[in-house]
Amino acid sequence: MSLEPFGARLRRAMDERGPLCVGIDPHASLLADWGLNDDIAGLERFSRTVVEALADRVAVLKPQSAFFERFGSRGIAVLEKSVEEAREAGALVVMDAKRGDIGSTMAAYASAFLEKSSPLFSDALTVSPYLGYGSLKPAVELARESGAGLFVLALTSNPEGGEVQHAVRGDGRSVGATMLAHLAAENAGETPMGSFGAVVGATLGDLSSYDLDINGPLLAPGIGAQGATPADLPGVFGAAVRQVVPNVSRGVLRHGPDIGALRASSDLFAEEIRAAVASA
């Protein structure tokens, strides 16, 4: 039996807990800032602390898979436990793995993160469409079957992304806009919103030339350490701002390992984002 569709679960979580996604990004410098060693014990302590502090209060937690994978099988075991405990505490988990491939390989990636029996099963997965949007079909199909979602890289905040995403196709539409159109088609008719979202950077400025109304969520990195603020969201996303899932990582995590400070920081970001959306 599949879960209720991700889009519906995400909408409810954002309405109840505030529209905030916090990353779980245990990179070496952050472990050091927390007074932890860059080893499996440090990784485990970091991840457990973030989950304990935030999983019962934020809408979404987003582990960055690479920071766990670098420790091999023991790191993956920590990731599995973090996903399990975060979901048990009520947070939705978006696995930030940015997988992208073709055919049976894409199907295997999808199975790893979107198959309900997998120990890494997550509520949604970030994916790269730059082998062609159609290459994501196995992930799209399995997400629908399991009640999970996808976040497709569309207009990312890194400066290098523009050489691909802003390239103009023969039909006069940019590659990024094409990805948004594909997602709008996936989400057509879904209520309260579809389960197939886009990654759109909060640092990109005025995006009014793009149709962001995909009837699905917009995962927006860049709040906090990258320079964007909650007050910027209406100007960047316009009428689609209510569908935005702002992601904050270092802006919250820098307050660890103190659990109270992590909670206070995430609560403040959630309230500031809620106020910005309400004023739009």
Q: Catalytic amino acids?
A: 98
Please work out, in degrees rounded to the nearest 5, the angle formed at the alpha carbon of residue 204 by the alpha carbons of 201 and 210. 90
Distance in angstroms (rounded) separating the CA atoms of residues 225 and 238: 22
Tell me what percent of the chain is helix, strand and coil, each rounded to the nearest 5: 50, 15, 35
Distance in angstroms (rounded) separating the CA atoms of residues 93 and 117: 16
End-to-end CA distance of the chain: 39
Q: Which long-range contacts (CB under 8 A, 24 or more apart) does 46-50 make?
A: 46/256, 46/257, 47/78, 47/79, 47/81, 47/82, 48/82, 48/85, 49/256, 49/257, 49/259, 49/262, 50/22, 50/24, 50/82, 50/253, 50/256, 50/262
In this structure, the chain runs to a length of 280
